Amino acid sequence: MPQFSIKNPVLLIIAAVFGLLLLWPVLHNLSSENDFDLFVMTAQRWKLHEPVYENAIIHGRYFYYSPLFLTLLQPFLWLHEVQTDAASMFGGYRWSFISAKAAWSVFNLYIVWYFIKELQQRFRFESQSAQNWFWGLAVFFGYRWIFLNLWHSQLTLFLLWALYHSALPKRENMYAQWWSLMVGMNVKIVPGFWLLKMGIDKKWEDIAWVLAGFILLLFIPVFFFPFDYVIQETLEWLQRINPLKSQHVMTLGEGGFIDIGSLIVKYFTSAKLENEPTVAIANWGVQGVFWASQVMRLLILGGILFLWYAIRKSRAYEPNFLIFALFSMGIPLIFPHQRDYSLALLLPAIVYFIYVYVAELYWMNAVLSALIFVSLVLMGNVMFFEMFSYDLRVWIIGVRLQGLGALLFFMCFGGFVWDYCRDSVRD
């Protein structure tokens, strides 16, 4: 664990500043409407045995998470009718939302602490100065995505943890390794991307175990709710997350998605959204968007597999962590309906970059360094877009600046991995 002591006052200051910065979004999250309101409102419908996937729940937003997640939220609903004092900072907010958000915030803070401990164990430093630079830069470049997930009470940090816990296990026991991936996939399907890596490694028994566990977890709600209702809604959920459905091709609305499909829709169709600029280089239509998106996803996937092979043939530092970072960062680009807070999945890649730089394991050329910095600026890591005027923020979201930054970062990271691994090829 990091040595936060008077013997290292710089690291102590970094920890104190980081802690205060984390407190800000947590307090805001408790007293403001965000995505967790959507989750709890949907859980209330689930409690009443009403359809939860058929129609939008609030402000035109649909619910894409699993019946298991809704079942896990039920304990918070007993506070549903209890409201806070209208004169308090929570202004009549229901305790069901406050208690759920508080519990989720505590869990997310635990995840942040978990990753701090993991990074300290994996990354070794030759000097106190290098350690200070690493943690200082990690906070500076990584805080944005932690902030957004705490601010909006989102699930990305949990999904990152679920994927990491299974992808980089501390135990060889198969059953202890894969339970977090099963749960993560059951809440939101995106951690299932790691099954591709397992398939490449020919871990067929492990894949069978994960899929069996995933299916088993699907049926847990039937012990608490009517069987027919659970089955019907589960089938509806599986249809809702079907990547071939039209709403996953023409990805529009909800404040600006940043995945590759959304970038193609924005730049290669004339689709118009209220309050957003239209950036139409061409107008390919639904079929054109569908095929262009699939080709781009295959290219990104091909790049990941090519780099995975290069890492395996190299002497790269912490190669398993680097492979994990590579697969993790592909998720926000490949999967549809990804928003800016899902870029937290890029954090492993960012901290690996920083470590290699401060540990002097690899010296990036000036052009690559500049492009990486530009990509971080476009994604908002270096500055808070909230500093800008409302109109400018609408334009940033409208032209999908964060998505362009993520795509540029992916290419830069790929260039770095290729060059770094080429310089450290095994004899």
Does the pLDDT of residue 111 top 90, yes or no? Answer: yes
The residue type of 144 is R
Residue 329: what pLDDT? Answer: 93
Of 65-69, 151-155, 400-404, 407-411, highest mean pLDDT: 407-411
Instruction: Tell me the two tokens of residue 114.
Output: 């978990």
Residue 48: what pLDDT? Answer: 86
* pLDDT per residue as tens digits for the range 122-141: 998 888 888 999 999 999 99
Residue 1: what pLDDT? Answer: 45
- 131/217 same-domain check: yes
Of 83-92, 135-144, 258-267, 410-419, the one with minimum mean pLDDT is 83-92
* pLDDT per residue as tens digits for the range 20-30: 999 999 888 88
In whole angstroms, what is the distance from residue 196 CA to residue 173 CA?
A: 20
Largest CA distance in the chain: 70
Does the pLDDT of residue 273 top 90, yes or no? Answer: no
Q: Which residue's entry shows tokens 């970038």?
A: 263
- 158/251 same-domain check: no
Instruction: Tell me the two tokens of residue 175.
Output: 């059953």
- 409/419 same-domain check: yes
* pLDDT per residue as tens digits for the range 77-105: 765 554 434 434 344 456 667 778 888 88
- 209/349 same-domain check: no
Does the pLDDT of residue 188 top 70, yes or no? Answer: yes
Average per-residue pLDDT in the chain? 84
Does the pLDDT of residue 57 top 80, yes or no? Answer: no
Per the model's pLDDT, the better-predicted residue between 422 and 408 turns out to be: 408
In whole angstroms, what is the distance from residue 407 CA to residue 409 CA?
A: 5
CA distances from 55 to 62, 77, 78, 105 (A): 7, 21, 25, 28
- 260/237 same-domain check: no
In whole angstroms, what is the distance from residue 341 CA to residue 154 CA?
A: 8
CA distances from 374 to 142, 208, 258 (A): 15, 42, 17
Of 2-11, 75-84, 214-223, 237-246, highest mean pLDDT: 214-223
In whole angstroms, what is the distance from residue 246 CA to residue 266 CA?
A: 16
What is the DSSP secondary-structure string of 394-405? HHHHHTTHHHHH
In whole angstroms, what is the distance from residue 108 CA to residue 111 CA?
A: 5
Residue 85: what pLDDT? Answer: 41
- 135/271 same-domain check: no
Residue 251: what pLDDT? Answer: 65
- 51/85 same-domain check: yes
The residue type of 378 is L
* pLDDT per residue as tens digits for the range 328-349: 999 999 988 788 889 999 999 9
- 148/71 same-domain check: yes
Confidence band of 58 (pLDDT split at 50, 70, 90):
confident
CB 166 within 8 A of CB 197: no
Torsion of CA 109, 174, 200, 342, to 10 degrees: -10
Sign of the torsion formed by the C-alpha atoms of 56, 58, 62 and 67: negative
In whole angstroms, what is the distance from residue 343 CA to residue 365 CA?
A: 25
Instruction: Tell me the two tokens of residue 151.
Output: 């601010």
Average of per-residue pLDDT across 47-56: 84
CB 41 within 8 A of CB 58: yes
Domain count, the chain: 2
Indicate the pTM of the whole model.
0.88
- 348/234 same-domain check: no
Q: Of 213, 241, 269, at which residue does a domain stop?
A: 241
In whole angstroms, what is the distance from residue 302 CA to residue 283 CA?
A: 27
In whole angstroms, what is the distance from residue 198 CA to residue 206 CA?
A: 8
Q: Of 219, 241, 263, at which residue does a domain stop?
A: 241
Per the model's pLDDT, the better-predicted residue between 241 and 18 turns out to be: 18
- 222/364 same-domain check: no
- In 381-426, which ranges are E strands? none
Per the structure, the complete domain to which residue 388 belongs is given by 243-427
Among the listed residues 193, 197, 216, 253, the one whose alpha carbon sits nearest the alpha carbon of residue 66? 216
Confidence band of 424 (pLDDT split at 50, 70, 90):
low
The residue type of 302 is G
Among the listed residues 220, 208, 244, the one whose alpha carbon sits nearest the alpha carbon of residue 69? 220
In whole angstroms, what is the distance from residue 315 CA to residue 310 CA?
A: 10
Q: Of 174, 208, 241, at which residue does a domain stop?
A: 241
Q: What is the DSSP letter of 57?
A: -
- Residue 289 CB contacts under 8 Å (≥ 6 apart), including other chains: 249, 250, 261, 264, 265, 268, 269
In whole angstroms, what is the distance from residue 397 CA to residue 211 CA?
A: 37
- 211/303 same-domain check: no
Residue 45: what pLDDT? Answer: 86
- 131/114 same-domain check: yes
